[in-house]
Each structure stands twice: as structure tokens, then as C-alpha cells.
Amino acid sequence: MNTPIDTAVAERGANPDSDQAQLSLLARVAEAELYLVLDEDADEERVKPTILQTSAGALALAFDREERMVSFTGEATHFVAMSGRRIAEMLVSGDTGLALNVGTEHETVLDTATLAWMLTQLAGEVDEAEQVIFEVFPPRDLPEAFVLSVDRKLAQMAGLAEAALLAKVRYASGVQGHALAMVGAQPDAQPALANAIAEGLRLSGLDAAALDVLFVEEDNPITAAFARNGLRFDIPEPEPVEVLEVSAPGMDPNKPPRLV
């Protein structure tokens, strides 16, 4: 089964001159958990990636599936799992690019300049402002990339909010634009949610300022207006944690202890 990165690499291959296809690939790399091949076990202070010296410069090796890494190395190897964004930060500081999923049909290379550009797109800060919403309308004339970017980001926010509602709004000042109402978001998660949405937009080739993010509760009157007019995104619930109960030997009457 193809991974999101596989799909993005294939789309870029089919549209090599498309800035949107390149942006989509970088977004998938930044948000993915990747397995970075190491020369030795990582510790709290040091991570030493395996570096290949190639005609494209120094490259580290990473894979988006552990089995792909094992298939390529052919043996047990040292590795660390971390986000693509964190790996890019580490590699750029060492003037090193990234060879991703080598040995598969979707292998690709991101040089240092590309990784550095990706990080600049992710570095923007979210501005906080308070405005009074005067009227709510159905969303209009939104690019497909815009909606897909919001949908992808929200799908990764399991348990942090109940739902999100996208609509066009007119503020009391007369300014109009689109807004995303996050319903039932945990207070301590709100800054991370706003930043995640902004990052997704920047790596979709869209201005992050094109979408305001607000946090509302289910019983807020503005929530009802968004629900009537907006596009709803359901946010997944967190996966249940399975707790295994281990009983002491001899305590289960159906499994008496063995005496040797």
C-alpha cells in the first residue's frame, strides 16, 4: 500500500513543473514520522546519521516505513524515529540533504536548499487578534488544495477538538474572509492547533493569513451559525489504549502454577 509520501512523489513525477506538487510533497515529508538510519545508537545529546557521499552531495537516509529501512539495509541497523521537520532541521545545520525511501519505486532526494526552504515556510508565527463576527456565509471559491490541506491537518489532530467548521465571515469592521471554527478544543492545545493549520496552508502554496482560526464551544451561538452555513470536518477520536492485566503466578484458578 502506498504511503502519503509515495502518492506525493508520484504526483510530482507526473507534474514535474508543478509548484503545487512540490509543495504537497514537502508537506507530507514535514508531517510524517520517518526512520532515520544512524551510524550508532542515539542518546539524549547526540544523533549521528549515516551519511552517503554522492554526486548530489552529502545525503542522510530515511524511510517512512520501518520494513523499507530493513529491506534496504539488509540487516539490523541503528535508527531513530522522528518527524520529517525535525530531521530537516538537523540536516540543514550540517549542510546535508535527504535520500528518502531509497530502493523503492518512490525514492526521492531532497537537497539541502529544498529542506531549508521547507523550514522557512514552516517558521511563520500565527498572529492573534480579536474581531467580532457580524455575519456567517457558506464558504465560496475555495481552491481544492485549500480544503484538502485543512482536511489533512485536522485528520492528524485526534482528540484535540471535537470538530471544525469552515465558513466565510464578515466582521463588524466590514472585512470579509474565511474562518475555521474549532469546536471543543482543549485550551492547552489551541496554540498548537492554530500553528498546525497555518503550517499546512503555507506548504500548500496558500497564504496562511487567508484563513482565520477561532475556538468555540458547542453551545456558543456563533457555533450554530457556522454549523448552518459551514463545511464540517469531523476530527477523529484518539485510539483507545489497551490495558493488559497481568496476574501473579498461581492467582488464576484456571491456570494453576507448574511445579518442577
Q: What are the pLDDT digits (tens) for 182-211?
A: 999 888 888 888 888 887 777 766 654 568
| Per-residue model confidence as pLDDT tens digits over 20-63 | 788 888 888 988 889 999 988 766 567 889 999 988 889 999 99
- Specify the higher pLDDT residue, 256 or 204: 204
Confidence of residue 257 (pLDDT cuts 50, 70, 90): very low
Mean pLDDT, range 245-249, rounded to an integer: 49
| Per-residue model confidence as pLDDT tens digits over 84-110 | 888 998 999 889 999 999 999 999 999
Confidence of residue 230 (pLDDT cuts 50, 70, 90): very high
Q: Check residue 112 and give its pLDDT.
A: 92
| Per-residue model confidence as pLDDT tens digits over 159-182 | 888 999 999 988 877 778 888 999
Q: Check residue 16 and give its pLDDT.
A: 84
How many angstroms separate the CA atoms of 99 and 204, rounded?
A: 22
Mean pLDDT, range 2-11, rounded to an integer: 91
Q: Check residue 106 and give its pLDDT.
A: 92
Q: Is the pLDDT of residue 151 over 50?
A: yes
Q: Is the pLDDT of residue 260 over 50?
A: no
Q: Is the pLDDT of residue 73 over 90?
A: no
Where is average pLDDT lowest: 3-12, 100-109, 124-133?
A: 124-133
Q: Check residue 6 and give its pLDDT.
A: 93
Q: Check residue 138 and give its pLDDT.
A: 93
